[in-house]
Amino acid sequence: MPDVMLRFFEAVGLILAGWLTFRLANSAVLARAGKAAPAAQTEALVQAGRPAVLYFTTPECVTCKSFQRPQLRRLEGMLGEGVQVVEVDAQARPELASRWGVLSVPTTFVLDSAGKPRHVNHGAVPAEKLAEQIQATLR
3-state secondary structure of 8: helix
pLDDT band at 40 (very low <50, low <70, confident <90, very high): very low
- Give the model confidence (pLDDT) of 79-96 as tens digits: 999 899 999 999 999 998
Q: How far apart are CA 23 and CA 48, in angstroms?
A: 28
Domain residue spans in the chain? 2-138
Average pLDDT, the chain: 89
- Whether the pTM exceeds 0.75: the reply is yes
Q: How far apart are CA 104 and CA 4, in angstroms?
A: 38
Check: CB of residue 125 under 8 Å from CB of residue 38: no
Q: How far apart are CA 4 and CA 23, in angstroms?
A: 29
> At residue 54, what are phi and psi to the nearest 5 degrees?
-95, 115
Residue 36 has a pLDDT of: 63
Is 2-138 CATH 3.40.30.10? yes
Residue 38 has a pLDDT of: 54
Check: CB of residue 77 under 8 Å from CB of residue 118: no
